[in-house]
Amino acid sequence: MNGFQITFFTQQDKRHHGKPLAEWLVNLAKEMSLPGATLIAGSEGFGHHGRIHSAHFFELADQPLEIQMAVSKEDAERLFARLKAEGVHLFYVKTPVEFGILGEDA
């Protein structure tokens, strides 16, 4: 199947509707019946302001997070329409990809 890999970049202390933004995005993907979403924690990075974000032993609030999804064109359109309606402020990368499933279900 052809579609998009969408990667969202945020950090641990960003919130939406009182929940951590990354967690909210994963739950949104499930609510919208998207094929899946993966939350990846980073150890360090920097954004467009040039400020270093990192996960320290005693403080994880600034930890960089990445949420990845592989979705169809239609699902991508629905997702971005929902994010716009929610007023979410978030950096993303949207890359055309081919994706599918190999093998049989267990």
Q: Name the packing angle between helices 21-31 and 73-86 (round to 10°).
A: 130
What is the domain count for the chain? 1
Domain presence at residue 84: no
Q: Which domain does 13 fall in, by range?
A: 2-71
Token pair listed for 64: 């960089």
CB 37 within 8 A of CB 68: yes
Report the pLDDT value the prediction gives residue 11, as an integer from 0 to 100: 87
Domain presence at residue 51: yes
Domain presence at residue 103: no
Report the pLDDT value the prediction gives residue 63, as an integer from 0 to 100: 76
Domain presence at residue 31: yes
Domain presence at residue 18: yes
Domain presence at residue 91: no
| Domain CATH number, residue 6 | 3.30.70.120
Domain presence at residue 50: yes
- Span 17-48, pLDDT tens digits: 999 999 999 999 999 999 999 999 865 666 66
- Span 1-16, pLDDT tens digits: 999 999 999 988 899 9
Domain presence at residue 10: yes
DSSP structural state of residue 72: E
DSSP structural state of residue 36: -
Report the pLDDT value the prediction gives residue 2, as an integer from 0 to 100: 97
